[in-house]
A and B are shown apart, each in its own frame.
Chain A
Amino acid sequence: MRRKGPPRLAMRLLECRLPPAIREAISGDLHAAHARRAEARGLLAADLWYWWQLMTLRSGALKQASRRLSAIRPTTERNRPGRAAAVSRTPVMHVNDLKYALRRLLATPGFTAVAVLSLALGIGANTAIFSIVNAVLLRELPVDAPQDLVELYTSDSGGSRYATSSYPDYLDIRRENDVFENVVVTRSVIGRIDLDGAPQVVFCELISWDYFQTLGVEMALGRPFVEEEDRTSGTHPVMILGHRAWTRRFGADPGIVGETVRLNGRQYTVVGVAPAAFTGSLPVLTTAVYLPTMMTDIVLGSRQLDRRGNRSFFLKARLLPGVTVAEANASLEAVAASLEQRYPETNEDRVMSALPADEVSLHPAVDAVLTPVGGLLMGAVGVVLLIACANLASFLLARAEERRREIAVRLAMGAGRVRLMTQLLVETTVLALLGGILGLVFAQWTVGLVLAFQPPIPIPLDLDFSLDHRVLLFTGGVSLLAGVVFGLLPALQATNPDVAPTLKSTGGTASGASRSRLRGTLVVVQVAFSFVLLIGAGLFIRSLQKAETIDPGFDTGSGALIWPLPELAGLESEEEVRVFFTELGRRLRAHPRVSGVAMTDRLPLGPEVRSRGYILPGVPAGTPAGDHHIDNATVRPGYFEAMDVKILEGRAFQEADVQGERVAIVSRAFVDRFYPGEEVVGRAIRTSEDSALRIIGVAASTKVRTLGEDPRPFVYELWGQLGYWGLQVVVKGSGTSEELVDVARETLHAVSPDMVLLEPIKTMDEHLALLLFPPRMAALILGVFGVLALLLATIGLYGVVSYTVARSTRELGIRISLGATTRQVVAMALGRGMRLVLVGGLVGFLVAALGTRLVSAYLFGISATDVATFVTIPVVLTIVALVAAWIPARRASLVDPVRALRAE
């Protein structure tokens, strides 16, 4: 539309330079002159002329004259209320603004409640989710010069570039590099401390003595380790306590340094307490105890430190000044090549590499999975915030429309524009503040909700998500900005000095129409966004349904799961371990309620992913080393019967096999992959360490790592043939899982009352819940946010339709008096609202159809464009939208034509 009147900006600037007393007069004169010129010589010439007027304005002289004049003007003229307020800006005026704003907000409680609630939901959800994502993924280590820190990795034989390193390799890297100021190691282990006779499982870190010094972390109490304490294996039982462990478990005892603490049955002397800000090398998991690396063999009960092939340490290094990560990588390459030459049996094809520490959150491989999840979360809450802001904007626009007359009257009475704006601004700010406060409450509640859904992983989690104040400020700021922009834009228009038409007019003006369009657009955007979120939620819910019907290939019925940690319970020899598990198995089987006991060192669908190299005669090698990496587990006889995994060919393990030649059972998928159509029973395969295994049976395939996977080759070995180590015990039988848990607990207590467990005995359902945790979490979050978004969009739609009806009362009155039926009138009002929904729905449909591909990796058994979801969601959305639009549209039929025509 062609602009009428002078350029806006020039006009505003001009008005700023004019003294209030004659502002209107001069501005008006120039406005009229501009119009004359525009007619005579065209708009461009008129605009240029106007700008020239602005530049040549004698602002100083005018102001001086105005001042002198105002000194003698009659007081009645100067003291008109609006004008006076514009001139004087005492704090009292702002208090009045505040009072007025509160009064106005309270006068329209419905509007206020919706606006505040919208904001609170947006701010709260964002603050909560960002706080969590921040804690897990974006955490900054509280260390000195983090930009100089790098993480070092050694590749593993499974093809992962970023895996852990061995201690001998670490010593060589430390000695032979020329790029690092220092290199340190850390290894996380689970330990048990005895506190007043009660054992507690805690998260420990084995660290090199100069770990804290290298990171630049100062002790809160005592001192860090010294070199002496980390020189010889097992000779210096000293520990540093984590700050939280110190406060929670030792009551922040200031005299703790020098005291002894029992860890895994051994006395350690506390030498220091880490600061509160440093919670350990990994986010989320808070380290309770730090020990020197030289205590590794003692803590783990096996020789690990001098084995170059035992790679379980994380390495961190500080770069020398001026050294880049690329240079560090080049140096590591040289070290790795030299190590490969000297130790080909352990270091062949091992690549060593460095990554900047601030690019790694948990671990490169884990980050790759978690980052998109975090992104998904942030995206979902971001959309909710957008919708909330759109709601606020929509309401403010409607409100400004309603207040046009009020504003026009006040302007005509001489109220200053700045004054009116200040007041609208105060009102918006009050809204945003109320929203922010409620949002904080909501955020706290959301964090609590999310924490209640803690992942069921078998590690004692010590989660602490404090609300992030930066996020609160950010989201609050965004909402405030949205409020100010959408609150002030219409205010600017409304305070446009086009007073007379507004005062006289009965219907919409051009700016009113554009505001309606803006509100309509906002509804379209809201509907589109909530459509996308709902589709996402729908997909995950469907996926969850599918996942729950997938047959994992073993009996998932009632059962109890025991996860003992014999090495933490003081069982030091393999014989003790053998006796414990044999006795536990015997007693469990003897129990009348127990029908079977499965013992394995790796549960299917468990948290552990493990594979090992097998050499398969007659099959082309899968890796450069000539072997195939195949998932495996070591089980005791009775495993297949108890887990109800069918033996398809050959036979299951028997007790007698333990003493004989080494045997293995392979899965159906193993045969299909490597020996399709061939007879494998009786065939010999070898492990990479070159011991031969004879295949004695073929078992049905089970799901191994995830429910969604294709059948995965699997090798079962027999416990006892290579040695005895810790197993997980599944107790199956009659009765509920809970009853079996009780049986397991009693039996365990009878066998070994002091046994340490990784986690309390749990049911098989709880074990399987871990697997369904990610899709369940995604469905929950997207579901909650989708419903939230739908709710907000519904409110927005309701508002727009009811406002349209209210505004077109006159039109409706005319139609009714001309004979339109109730139904026609309602249909008309409804149609306007539903058009917006239709457009929003179409946009949302397109975005969803394209966008859901991004999450297809997380879906089980359905495609990203699942038809059922893409049909159901639009239907649900349409029904909800119809109701939201119908309620206010119905009001159209209640219009009394006589009153409607007289009213305006």
Chain B
Amino acid sequence: MELTLSKGSHLGDLEELVLLCVRRLGEDADGAAVQAELSKVAGRNVSVSTVYVTLMRLEEKGCVHSWKGDPSPRRGGKAKRMFALRPQGLEALADRRAIRERLWAGAKASQSEAFGA
């Protein structure tokens, strides 16, 4: 079996989750939203620093791109940093998913063996 891994597709576990959150959030993906999403959907409480370190690493790998969003009074007039998936990011997610599904496919058999025994 041969997998052609493009640059940046070496995703860590947290990176994968963050990337998935960015995808889920679509146009509303900024750091705070990602952090909230991680907590709500994945049950992972991570610090704001961790979220941004991860996002920046993803950007470095070419999985996401970012731009300056709108400031709001609620944010003390500070602009958001918005994130969105790049094709590379989508690819990397797809790769991870494919790997897992293949792995899961194997796992099913052994599980049924175990229960069926």
Residues of A within 8 A of B (CB): 5-6, 11, 21-22, 24-33, 35, 53, 56-59, 61-62, 65-66, 68-69, 72, 496-501
Contact = CB atoms under 8 A, between A and B. Distances in A.
21 contacts: A11-B76, A22-B52, A24-B79, A25-B31, A25-B81, A26-B48, A28-B71, A28-B76, A28-B80, A29-B48, A29-B80, A56-B49, A59-B49, A61-B53, A65-B52, A65-B56, A68-B56, A497-B77, A498-B76, A499-B71, A501-B77
Contacts of A53: 47-48
Given A32-B32, A62-B49, A501-B73, A24 B78 contact: yes
B72 interface: yes
Given A25-B31, A28-B71, A58-B50, A69 B60 contact: yes
Contact of A72 (B32, B35, B60, B72): B60
B52 A31 contact: no
A62 B50 CA distance: 8
Interface core residue of B30, B35, B48, B80 (most chain A CB under 10 Å): B48
B40 to A, nearest CB: 14
B69 to A, nearest CB: 8
B78 A25 contact: yes
Given A25-B31, A25-B81, A32 B74 contact: yes
B75 interface: yes
A500 B53 contact: no
A28 B75 contact: yes
B57 interface: yes
B112 to A, nearest CB: 44
A367 B5 CA distance: 93
A25 B56 contact: no
B53 A62 contact: yes
B79 A25 contact: yes
Contacts of A72: 60
Contacts of B95: none
A28 B71 CA distance: 8
Contacts of B75: 28-29, 31-32
Nearest to B69: A25
B73 A22 contact: no
A497 B78 contact: yes
B15 interface: no
B59 interface: yes
Contact of A65 (B30, B53, B68, B79): B53
B31 A69 contact: no
Nearest to A499: B77
A27 B78 contact: yes
Contacts of B73: 498, 500-501
A56 B74 contact: no
A700 B31 CA distance: 100
Contacts of B72: 28, 32, 500
What 9 A-B pairs come out closest when comparing CB atoms? Answer: A28-B78, A25-B81, A28-B75, A58-B49, A31-B76, A65-B56, A498-B77, A29-B32, A497-B77
A29 B59 contact: no
Interface in B35-75: 35, 47-50, 52-53, 56-57, 59-60, 68, 71-75
Contacts of B50: 58
A732 B21 CA distance: 111
A722 to B, nearest CB: 93
Task: Give the interface size bracket for B toward A.
Answer: 20 to 34
Interface of B: 30-32, 35, 47-50, 52-53, 56-57, 59-60, 68, 71-81
B57 A500 contact: no
B74 A69 contact: no
A164 to B, nearest CB: 74
A690 to B, nearest CB: 94
A57 B49 contact: yes
B51 to A, nearest CB: 9
B77 A58 contact: no
Given A68-B60, A497-B71, A29 B30 contact: yes
Contacts of A498: 73, 76-77
Contacts of A56: 47, 49
A501 B78 CA distance: 12
A65 B57 contact: yes
A65 B60 contact: yes
A500 B68 CA distance: 15
A58 B54 CA distance: 12
A72 B60 CA distance: 7
Given A25-B31, A29-B48, A61-B49, A35 B56 contact: no
Contacts of A25: 30-31, 52, 78-81
B99 to A, nearest CB: 26
A666 B5 CA distance: 125
B77 to A, nearest CB: 4
Nearest to B76: A31
A752 B94 CA distance: 124
A31 B47 CA distance: 15
Contacts of A21: 56
A6 B81 CA distance: 20
Contacts of B57: 65, 68
B81 A24 contact: yes
A364 to B, nearest CB: 63
B62 to A, nearest CB: 9
A792 B38 CA distance: 63
Contacts of A29: 30-32, 35, 48, 75, 80
A190 to B, nearest CB: 77
A455 B45 CA distance: 83
Contact of A22 (B35, B47, B56, B74): B56
Contacts of A501: 73, 77
A500 B77 contact: yes
Nearest to A21: B56
B116 to A, nearest CB: 48
A30 B52 CA distance: 12
Contacts of A26: 31, 48-49, 52
B67 to A, nearest CB: 9
Given A31-B78, A499-B77, A66 B48 contact: no
Contacts of A68: 56-57, 60
A35 B75 CA distance: 8
A498 B30 CA distance: 20
Contact of B59 (A32, A57, A69, A500): A69
Interface core residue of A27, A59, A500 (most chain B CB under 10 Å): A500
A33 B80 CA distance: 13
B12 to A, nearest CB: 13
Contact of B81 (A22, A35, A62, A499): A22
A27 B78 CA distance: 7
A61 B49 CA distance: 8
Nearest to B49: A58
A66 B59 CA distance: 10
B81 to A, nearest CB: 4
A11 B75 CA distance: 12
